[in-house]
């Protein structure tokens, strides 16, 4: 395990979540350890989040291989694909929907939406996700 990731990401998140659970024991918590890569399972195990957000660099097959089958994920479309739109965005969105079809999944971007995103691309993505 990367000592820096454990010290600067996992441990602070673990303490925050532990404190929150003392106040609201059954609060559903989504953690988003951007850039976790190979540390995603260690993050999930240590923090005890209910769902993990995946950035757009996390391969679907990798997430499915390292996380328990019933563990929920959120993500992970690259926000720049949404800016460009069209066939490449639609194909990737459908890949994500299919790739996570065997586990709880909240479709989302792998990071925030950027200001230059055309609203019609957002509308098309919402349409695809609703059908998915």
Query: For the segment 26-48, what is each residue's pLDDT rounded down to a tens digit?
Result: 999 999 998 898 999 999 999 99
pLDDT digits 0-9 by tens, 60-89:
999 999 999 999 999 999 999 999 999 999
Q: Which residues of 3-40 are buried (b: 16+ CB within 10 A; e: fewer)?
A: eebeeebbeebbeebeeeeeeeeeeebebbbeebeebb
Per the confidence metrics, is the pTM higher than 0.75? Answer: yes
Please state which CATH number belongs to domain 3-131.
3.20.20.210
Q: Is residue 99 a contact partner of residue 67, using CB atoms and an 8 Å limit?
A: no
């Amino acid at each position: 395990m990367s000592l820096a990731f454990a010290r600067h990401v996992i441990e602070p998140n673990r303490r925050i979540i532990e404190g929150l659970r003392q106040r609201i024991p059954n609060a559903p918590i989504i953690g988003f350890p951007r850039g976790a890569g190979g540390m995603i399972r260690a993050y999930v195990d240590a923090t005890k989040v209910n769902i993990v957000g995946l950035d757009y660099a996390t391969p679907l097959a990798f997430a499915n291989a390292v996380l328990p089958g019933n563990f929920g994920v959120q993500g992970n479309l690259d926000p720049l694909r949404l800016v460009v739109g069209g066939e490449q965005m639609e194909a990737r969105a459908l890949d994500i929907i299919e790739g996570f079809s065997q586990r709880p999944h909240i479709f989302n971007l792998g990071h925030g939406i950027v200001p230059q995103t055309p609203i019609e691309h957002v509308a098309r993505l919402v349409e695809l996700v609703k059908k998915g």
